[in-house]
């Protein structure tokens, strides 16, 4: 018994020896089973995005008029659509599009928003006022309406959806990073860095930005989920991806006509969107708890 305790404490010491903020975060993250499951699912989606099309049993545009609108079977796991195309193949091929749209749009939004937020929060004054008023204006629109407006101006297509989604995810990041910057700017360690003679760029990128990174990561994860949803909605409304792209929103829109007779045409694309967005949200929640220094276990 005593020996066991000793061994346990030795192990503890060994572990505490390398207690970087990152290792601490991983330790806290592992405790949250939901988030770990969500992360595994997202990694699976990423795998599908790379290899899904190659692994699919049928080509995405392989028409088969002898078997249209068939329910799930051993040949067609998710059934077929109105042209006899295999839904399972189309859905796993569509993973790539949804993930790419979500990640690229949010990355652009996060980078722009972070830079704007840092500048506004650090320099205040007129720059800050201009940035924040623009953000307020963008915030005043519901996200989807704004995206529709932008796509209406630029024309439909998946590339323009990315632009639209990045525009409306920018102000969220700008506001978030500005808030952190305002708080950290007055912290004693930033004053200390200033007192050492650190340049503004050094203070912004070595001291303030790392302090905002946890919030940015959490917001990023959450935003990817909602961006995928928005992009699918735009495709559903016919403003995003155009047929015959196997985009999930578009699959849903096609299946809508046959919902009464062939439920699988809407059920499976809907499930794909639902599970993807849900797992990004759960992952975001998990990361938030793991990164929050105030939540001690």
Q: Which is nearer to another protein, 19 or 256 (CB)?
A: 19
Compute the distance between CA of residue 172 and CA of residue 192 in angstroms, rounded to an integer: 30
Q: Give the nearest distance from C-beta 188 to another protein in angstroms.
A: 4
Q: Of 118-177, which residues contact another protein (CB under 8 A)?
A: none
Q: Which is nearer to another protein, 20 or 261 (CB)?
A: 20
Residue 191: C-alpha distances to residues 3, 76, 182, 186 (Å) = 49, 64, 13, 7
Q: Omega into 102 within 30° of 0, i.e. cis? A: no
Whether residue 185 contacts residue 175, with contact meaning beta carbons closer than 8 Å, is answered with no
C-alpha closest to that of 85 among 109, 103, 68: 68
Residues in contact with another protein, counted by CB under 8 A, come to a total of 21
Whether residue 176 contacts residue 216, with contact meaning beta carbons closer than 8 Å, is answered with yes
Task: With contacts defined by CB under 8 A, name the span among 68-76, 197-205, 258-266, 281-289 that binds another protein.
Answer: 197-205
Q: Give the nearest distance from C-beta 122 to another protein in angstroms.
A: 13
Please give the backbone phi and psi of residue 86, each rounded to the nearest 5 degrees, phi first: -75, 115
Q: Give the nearest distance from C-beta 100 to another protein in angstroms.
A: 31
C-alpha closest to that of 68 among 211, 283, 294, 255: 255
Task: With contacts defined by CB under 8 A, name the span among 29-37, 136-144, 162-170, 191-199 that binds another protein.
Answer: 191-199
Q: Give the nearest distance from C-beta 197 to another protein in angstroms.
A: 4
Is 202 near another protein (CB under 8 A)?
Answer: yes
Q: Residues in the site for another protein, rule: CB under 8 A?
A: 19-21, 187-189, 191-199, 202, 206-207, 210-211, 293
């Amino acid at each position: 018994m005593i020996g066991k305790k000793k061994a346990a404490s030795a192990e503890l010491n060994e572990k505490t020896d390398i207690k970087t903020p990152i290792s601490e975060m991983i330790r806290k993250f592992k405790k949250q089973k939901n988030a770990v499951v969500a992360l595994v699912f997202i990694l699976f989606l990423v795998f599908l995005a790379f290899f899904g099309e190659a692994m699919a049993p049928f080509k995405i545009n392989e028409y088969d008029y002898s078997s249209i609108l068939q329910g799930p079977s051993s040949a067609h796991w998710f059934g077929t659509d109105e042209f006899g195309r295999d839904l399972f193949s189309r859905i796993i091929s569509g993973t790539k599009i949804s993930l790419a749209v979500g990640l690229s749009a949010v990355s652009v939004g996060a980078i722009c928003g972070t830079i704007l937020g840092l500048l506004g929060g650090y320099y205040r004054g007129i720059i800050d006022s201009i940035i924040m008023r623009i953000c307020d204006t963008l915030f005043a629109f519901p996200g989807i309406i704004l995206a529709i407006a932008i796509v209406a101006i630029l024309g439909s297509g998946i590339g323009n959806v990315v632009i639209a989604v990045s525009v409306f995810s920018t102000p969220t990041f700008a506001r978030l990073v500005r808030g952190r910057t305002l708080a950290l700017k007055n912290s004693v360690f930033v004053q200390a860095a200033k007192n050492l003679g650190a340049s503004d760029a050094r203070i912004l990128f070595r001291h303030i930005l790392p302090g905002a990174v946890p919030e940015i990561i959490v917001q990023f994860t959450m935003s990817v989920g909602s961006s995928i949803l928005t992009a699918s909605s735009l495709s559903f409304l016919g403003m995003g991806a155009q047929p015959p792209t196997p985009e999930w929103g578009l699959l849903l829109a096609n299946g809508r006509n046959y919902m009464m007779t062939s439920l699988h045409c809407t059920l499976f694309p809907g499930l794909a969107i639902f599970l993807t967005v849900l797992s990004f949200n759960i992952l975001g929640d998990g990361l938030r708890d793991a990164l929050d220094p105030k939540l001690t276990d």
